[in-house]
Amino acid sequence: MLTEVYAKRKFYDNFHYYFDRNKFLNIYFSFNFVELLKTLSSIPREFVEKYKEFFIQNYSIDLFLYDLDNKFIKNINIKEKFNLFEDVDLETYNAVVDSSDLKGKYKIVGVLNFNQSFYDYVLIKSREITASVEDKNYFNKLKIILNESKFSYTNSKAQIGSKYSFESGEIDFNTASFYASNLYEIYKRKIKIEVYSNFIEKLSLEKGVEYDGNLPLTKYITAKQKEYEEINLNFNLVEKTGDRSSYQNLLMAVLQDVESPFDYKEFSSLQNIYVVDGNKERKKTQSIQAYEKLNDNLQSLVCDNNIFSQTRESTLRTFKDSEILLLATYTNNIKDLEIDNFWREDFTLIPVYIIDIMTNYNVYYLESINKNSMSDNWKLLTREEIQNLKSGKYLCKIISTQQYINKFLIENYFVLVK
């Protein structure tokens, strides 16, 4: 079979994908058709380079969505193809598919097709009287491969087993009902470098800190079907001014992964985190029950009522806005939370601290792709890197080191145009 010829070679890079605010799955991947053609035919690069412009215009890739049992689900529409970082050998594809009606796990399958015009051209050139002997020989090699391999041609019906096909890993289509976004105000699939740079400058002024190779969250978006409510995350980290409740609401939603989260008092109750009544002197000598302990044996005597003597329903009604419950909620759920001067004097700043300071959202750009292994190399998109970029298109991604936020990022891939 043809697949044995190139079983050890990979001619596409990883599928990069995200779900956008409209519930569409967006896909980026690059394909090296020139390398594949060389490998299949064992013809010199010089020959491929000589006719490359025609070759790359006369092949196509079809994308399909399959379930994990290899059952066809639907076609995936390729919107466009372009070249990254001025590399004409590597063609990058952008594809989209509506995922609003899909739940569960699926995979993307790509299939290479030679157009009929490709076969016709090879056939003519192999018989051309004026062609050099070497060129005719190489075209004959291509013709043999096309015939013996039974590669599909557009509008023909060849079995998928005889084609060059490739696929992604499994993709979870159980998307969230709320999102956190970094580029909501300026997002398009392609962002001009001037727009991006101005956006960074604006954010740096609003937040009071300098962003270089990183981005803060700028919006908290709740989604009901395709209607959205946008909530700004615009706290100034130097002056410590801004709407704190939006950060609190976002974090409670992240911790509970629900559209309408409990507040921290009710959430603390459900996790058996309580604030108890008692006498300070007596507490020094009495044993502490497990349900009275908080993270690192944190406890409080701040409430003037004994909530343990009441039913759960009345308990939820009589909870007070206790700083100790707020602190306990996060110390018990955020593993990396540390004492920091930013919030130590004011516990209500903890949500801002977690989102805008503790969580690091780095922006990387795809610097290069190895044409032999098709492995990719990413670099931090700092201001210095932006200045040094040549004219062209660059695939960028936003990632977080904190997984409890990362899965709620939307539109975390974009193409930067310089």
Of 219, 255, 206, 203, nearest in space to 403 by CA:
255
- Contact criterion met (CB below 8 Å) for 328 and 322: no
243 and 115 in a common domain = no
Is 55 or 190 the better-scoring residue by pLDDT? 190
Rounded to the nearest 5 degrees, what angle is found at the Cα of 51, between the Cα atoms of 417 and 376? Answer: 40
Whether 27 and 158 share a structural domain: yes
* Dist. CA 217–CA 233, nearest whole Å: 7
pLDDT for 151 equals 46
Q: Which of 172, 206, 241 marks a domain boundary?
A: 172
Structure tokens at 373: 């292994």
% the chain with pLDDT above 90: 37
Whole-model pTM: value is 0.81
What is the distance between the terminal CA atoms of the chain, rounded to a whole angstrom? Answer: 44
Over residues 395-407, mean pLDDT: 87
Structure tokens at 239: 């002056």
Cβ count near 250 (within 10 Å): 26
Beta bridge partners of residue 75, listed in sequence order: 64
Count of structural domains, the chain:
2
Answer whether residue 137 is part of any domain: yes
pLDDT digits (tens, 9 = 90+) for 297-341: 344 443 333 333 344 444 444 444 567 778 778 888 887 777 667
Residue 12 inside a domain? The answer is: yes
Residues 238 and 315 in one domain: yes
- pLDDT at position 163 is 63
Cα–Cα distance between 246 and 165 in angstroms, integer? Answer: 46
Distance CA 76, CA 53 (A): 26
- DSSP H helices, 18-169, are 33-41, 45-57, 116-127, 133-149
Q: Which of 38-52, 135-149, 207-221, 367-381 has the lowest mean pLDDT?
A: 135-149
Predicted local confidence at residue 2, as pLDDT: 40
Are residue 116 and residue 260 in the same domain, yes or no?
no
Handedness of CA 31, 33, 35, 36 (dihedral sign): positive
Kindly tell me if the per-residue pLDDT of 286 is higher than 60: no
User: Which tens digit of pLDDT belongs to each residue from 152-162?
Assistant: 433 333 334 44
DSSP label of 177: S
pLDDT at 281 over 70: no
pLDDT higher than 80, residue 105: yes
DSSP state of 150: T
Mean pLDDT taken over the chain = 79
408 in any annotated domain: no
Beta carbons of 270 and 328 less than 8 angstroms apart? no
Q: CA 327, 329, 333, 334 torsion: positive or negative?
A: negative
Question: Does 365 have pLDDT greater than 90?
Answer: yes
Identify whether 200 is part of a domain: no
Q: What is the domain extent for residue 11?
A: 2-172
